[in-house]
Structure 1
Amino acid sequence: MMLSEVTPVPEAALPLAPFKAHLRLGTGFGEDSLQDEVLFGFLRAALAAVEGRTGKALITRDFELEIRHWRDRARMVLPIAPVQAVTEVMIRDAAGAETVLNPAAYQLERDSQRPRLCPTGSLLPAIPAGGLARITLQAGMAADWGGLPADLGQAVMLLAAHYYEYRADTGLHGGCMPFGVTSLIERYRSLRLTLGGLA
């Protein structure tokens, strides 16, 4: 299984001015924008870390999921949430021939933790040996920064500030994510049930 980001988060969706205010950077100087690219980098890194820890896409954008076999042909759990739409499902055989499924053959079962791709009939079509399925989807909690839950927005801001303040530090210090950040994102983390219990 491989999940790829098709469209990156646009710079306009990132809170550069609030981040500068959070860092208490000086303003009114001729070189106000000198650090902008660096600050965008820290915001993107913090956003990716929070998304990775929670399994949630914060800013809405397009993704592609490639899989070699269905875990369950009656319902395929998607590895990111919340999914807003499944825009295409394509099956490729070992020779490279591609078949785009009729959208009437599947449906998205929305869920804030474990969205699922389900067949409208009994089963999703089989993936040929040596082939794959590619699912194109749109996922995200908000179209822009202002639409995010306040606690997640604050978590990204705190983590980006942490990265900025300790940008020259290479030590791990027992976890890499400050306690304030982990406490803000804890309720968004999905619990997975396995044979051994919670994972």
Structure 2
Amino acid sequence: MMLIETTLPAAALPLERFKAHLRLGTGFSDDGAEDALLEAFLRASMAAIEERTAKVLLARSFTWGVNGWRDGAREPLPVAPVSRIAELRVFDRNGTVCVCDPATYRLERDGTYPRLAAVRTCLPTIPQGGGAEVDFDAGFGAEWDSVPADLGQAVFLLAAHYHEHRHEASTGEGHMPFGVAALTERWRRLRVTAGGVA
């Protein structure tokens, strides 16, 4: 399985809000000198929160590739919330691609476990040695204000943690600070082994 981000968020990151969160002073001659660094911390913390929760904060497009279906009728998508499935393609071991008829599949919307589902009995067959690719759009919305408040606060807290420890080679044991973990816990996917929900 491989998930590739094919577009960047359309909205700018909330840099000024993050500066206010850090309580950085204004009116100095070097205002804006650290903007690139602060934006990098925001991007890194957003990526970490998205990885932890399997939620896409700002809307963008993805391509998801698989070598086979877990269930021939309904396949869980790797992130949420998904707003649209743009295209489903299957290809054989020689790379010959077949674009599937949109009438044969649909999106089952769910805030945690969205699924690619067959309209009738099963999803298009993946040839032996081949695979499938699904192009889809995901995210809470195009603007930062559409991100749930607790996840937005978690991004700021983690970015502030990165900012605070920017001169250290290591920040410790590599786990999330407590406040970030507490804010993201309810958004995390339940992981069940032995082929169950992942």
- State if a TM-score over 0.5 links the two structures: yes
- Where 2:166 maps in the other structure, the secondary structure is coil
Structure 2: stretches of 5+ with no match in the other structure: none
Tell me the CA shift for residue 156 of structure 1: 0.2
Partner of 2:9: 9
Secondary structure of 1:185's counterpart equals helix
Q: Which residue of 2 aligns with 1:51?
A: 50
Q: How does 1:118-197 map to 2 (within 5 A)?
A: 118-195=117-194
SS in 2 for 1:13: coil
**Structure 1 residue 192, shift from structure 2 partner:** 2.2
Structure 1 gaps of 5+ residues are none
> Residue type matched to 1:57 in 2?
V
- Cα deviation, 1:108-153, whole Å, max 9, x if unaligned, reads 0011111110111111111112211010000111211111111111
Report how far residue 168 of structure 1 moved.
1.7
Which letter maps to 1:174?
E
The amino acid that maps onto 1:7 is T
Aligned runs of 1:43-122 on 2, under 5 Å?
A: 43-122=42-121
1:193, CA displacement in angstroms? 2.5
1:21 shift after superposition: 1.1
RMSD: 1.8
Structure 1 Cα separation of the partners of residues 162 and 23 of structure 2: 15
Q: TM-score, normalised by structure 2?
A: 0.94
How far apart are residue 195 of structure 1 and its match?
4.4
> 2:107 aligns to what SS in structure 1?
strand
Runs of 4+ with deviation above 2 angstroms: 170-176, 192-199
Indicate conservation of the 8 Å contact 2:89/2:97, yes or no.
Answer: yes
Q: Which residue of 2 aligns with 1:35?
A: 34
1:196, distance to aligned residue in structure 2 (A): 10
Contact 2:9 2:142 in 1 (8 A): no
Q: Distance in 2 between matches of 1:78 and 1:48?
A: 18
Q: Which amino acid aligns with 1:53?
A: R
- The TM-score, its normalising length taken from structure 1, stands at 0.93
Give 1:197 deviation, angstroms: 9.7
Deviations 1:138-196 (A, max 9, x none): 01112111111111110000000000110122334234311001001111011123349
Distance 1:198 1:69 in 2: 16
The verdict on how the C-alpha distance between 1:65 and 1:53 changes in structure 2, with shifts beyond 3 A counting, is same
Matched-pair contact (CA < 8 Å) for 2:165–2:171: no
